[in-house]
Amino acid sequence: MGSMHTGLEEEKNGYLRMAAYFEERAKGG
């Protein structure tokens, strides 16, 4: 993900992807 607002502005599903991405980082990162 190059831009944090990309998913939010381009597609609603992008927000869910970001949530999962940050959740994974919180767990294992």
pLDDT for the residue numbered 20: 87
Q: Distance between CA atoms of 21 and 16, rounded to whole angstroms? A: 8
Residue with tokens 């599903």: 13
- The 3-state DSSP class for residue 23 equals helix
- Digit-coded pLDDT (tens) for 1-29: 555 555 555 666 777 888 888 999 999 86
Could you give the number of structural domains in the chain?
1
Cβ neighbours of residue 22 closer than 8 Å, sequence gap 6 or more: none
pLDDT for the residue numbered 28: 84
Containing structural domain, residue 23: 1-29
- Type of residue found at 14: G
* pTM of the shown model: 0.42
pLDDT for the residue numbered 26: 92
